[in-house]
Chains A and B, each alone.
Chain A
Amino acid sequence: MDYSKILAGKAKQIKPSGIRKFFDLAGTMEGCISLGVGEPDFKTPWMVRDAGIKSLERGKTWYTSNAGLAEMRREAANYLARRFDLHYDPETEMLVTVGGSEAIDLALRAVLEPGDEVIIPEPCYVSYAPLTQLVGGVAVPLPLKAENGFRLTAQELRDKITPRTKIVVLPFPCNPTGAVMRERHLAEIAKVLQDTDILVLTDEIYAELTYGTRRHVSIASMPGMKERTVYINGFSKAYAMTGWRLGYVCAPQPLMQVMTKIHQYAIMCAPTTSQYAGIVALRDGDEAIEGMRDEYDMRRKYLTSNLNRMGLTCFEPEGAFYVFPSIQKSGLSSEEFCEKLLMSKKVAVVPGTAFGASGEGFVRISYSYSVAHLSEALNRIEEFLKELSHE
């Protein structure tokens, strides 16, 4: 059997993750301390888990409607209005998905024709480019700059727009940099897009993990932007519900109809148990979010203060649960740095290049770990840096 003839060309062309082998090694290494994981260390709040359990006890184990439970969509609409001043019709503009990941896939599949361009600010979460390529789209990386705090500027965006540009991805708050687009930054971006037919795909999965006194602002809440925005959110990060695989997407009705059609044939519906749990999370989870955010915030400050002290300078990440320090003073590439750190001190961090070429010179460190865990890892990193400087 010649599988190379069977496998689809587009699927084969997707680059496998170059660091997979490296992390498999970290996973099996005795005594390895990881700062790599991209999911919360908290458990899903008990009342949310309980709602899932209760739904099972009551035998609610059928499919839901394709778009998701009506109550779930209503609660999501209430939540978005309450937290982010976003106003969507739960009947016609919302779809419950299998995590934010499915929503990204749906949005790209719903609108891209072969050759259409998708502007992807990097470094960013890794799935936008491969999913674009799978439907024949062209991923156009837009390298963000450390000196801009890894924010997207209007000029950078303008420079990348061509007649084939169909989508701009806005991955903020950003994994891996922790960068946040504040209202004034978004207003600049909105100005560039307002008179175009370019769609914004805003992935706001980390919206609740925005630190400081200013709340997260969505580009979809800005004048004239809702009609040209696909808004994606989910439960994984805010409610520590990664394993439940639950998210949702909001978009203008004509887009939503097509996305729902694809979802119907590919997925049928998001997991029913998760949807029942999600209803409680949206309705009663604000306090739990605050508690987790407070804890992340303390760890964030602990980590940035210590990394800066060691000379691994990092700008202050204002969102998500990652810091993105520069490792340029080590004289090593991102991958070399990570590999040496892993082999000599058994600490796993992720090279910035895993998130795009512009991540070179940086590493991603996750603080979804206890302070005691972070402290041990920092001690080892400090030893590593001292040894490097003596080499």
Chain B
Amino acid sequence: MERILKILEDNARLPLEDIAAMADKTPQEVAAAIDEYAKAGVIKGYKTLIDWDKTDETRVRAIIELKVSPKKDRGFDEIASTIALFPEVDSVMLMSGGYDLGLIMTGSSFQEIALFVALRLSPLDDVLSTATHFVLRTYKRDGVVYADENKDERGYNFL
């Protein structure tokens, strides 16, 4: 069944029939397995990878490092859950190393993100400090190379 997940992770738009052929299952079995994965929270959703730099829309991404004070009983979970509620925040991760929470967020401008950090994140009681790093260019994301066209460099040697 893990094979179904791998296939979906690479290409979530494949028809059930194709996934079934690739995984040696029937389409009905694949549909049932996908339902099970969704119910169990293994499959969290389906998204499209878009290189916004190639559109007319301006999008700014930033990685934000947060140092926070953990709570006695709930550790970092409480503040992390609070921050995860902000729709502007794409990802919230507990980190090892020099800071506690790593955030990835998207906005329409540098200013919008800077204001969000200054007005929404920093004032939170448990947030001790923030460091904002703006993404200048994306070369690869979620396993997909963005910067260069994925050109097939193999020679036309067909035999």
Contacts and interface: CB of A to CB of B under 8 A. Distances in A.
Interface residues of B, number: 17
Given A37-B157, A38-B157, A371 B21 contact: no
Contacts of A301: 21-22, 24
B14 interface: yes
A356 to B, nearest CB: 12
B156 A23 contact: yes
- 3 tightest Cβ-Cβ pairs between the two chains A and B: A305-B21, A27-B156, A36-B158
A375 B21 CA distance: 14
A26 interface: yes
B10 interface: yes
B158 A38 contact: yes
B89 interface: no
B152 interface: yes
A298 interface: yes
Interface of A: 17, 19, 23-24, 26-27, 34, 36-39, 41, 125-126, 298-299, 301-302, 304-306, 348, 350, 354-355, 371-372, 375
Interface in B101-148: none
Nearest to A364: B158
Nearest to A37: B154
B109 to A, nearest CB: 33
A354 B159 CA distance: 8
Which of B3, B18, B158 has the most A CB atoms < 10 Å from its CB? B158
Contacts of B156: 23-24, 26-27, 34, 36-37
B3 to A, nearest CB: 7
Contact of B22 (A37, A125, A302, A372): A302
Interface in B1-57: 3, 7, 10-11, 14, 17-18, 21-24
Which of A27, A125, A298, A372 has the most B CB atoms < 10 Å from its CB? A298
A94 to B, nearest CB: 27
A306 B10 CA distance: 19
Contacts of B10: 371
Given A126-B159, A354-B159, A371-B14, A34 B21 contact: no
A325 B154 CA distance: 24
A38 B159 contact: yes
Contacts of A37: 152, 154, 156-158
B21 A302 contact: yes
A41 B11 contact: no
A361 B40 CA distance: 49
Given A305-B17, A371-B14, A372-B11, A298 B22 contact: yes
Contacts of A24: 156
Given A298-B3, A298-B7, A371-B11, A39 B21 contact: no
Contacts of A17: 159
Given A37-B154, A298-B7, A302-B22, 7 more contacts: A37-B152, A37-B156, A125-B159, A301-B21, A304-B21, A306-B21, A350-B159
Contacts of A41: 152, 154
A368 to B, nearest CB: 8
Contacts of A38: 157-159
Contacts of B14: 371, 375
Nearest to B24: A301
A350 B158 contact: yes
A23 B21 CA distance: 31
Contacts of A355: 159
Nearest to A24: B156
Contacts of A299: 22
Nearest to B11: A371
A139 to B, nearest CB: 16
Contacts of B158: 19, 23, 36-38, 348, 350, 354
Contacts of B152: 34, 37, 41
A238 to B, nearest CB: 17
B142 to A, nearest CB: 14
25 contacts: A19-B158, A23-B156, A23-B158, A36-B156, A36-B158, A37-B152, A37-B157, A39-B154, A41-B154, A126-B159, A301-B21, A301-B22, A302-B18, A304-B21, A306-B18, A306-B21, A348-B158, A350-B158, A350-B159, A354-B158, A355-B159, A371-B7, A371-B11, A371-B14, A372-B11
Which of A24, A37, A354 has the most B CB atoms < 10 Å from its CB? A37
B144 to A, nearest CB: 11
A24 B158 CA distance: 10
Contacts of A305: 17-18, 21
A215 to B, nearest CB: 18
A305 B24 CA distance: 11
Nearest to A302: B22
B16 to A, nearest CB: 12
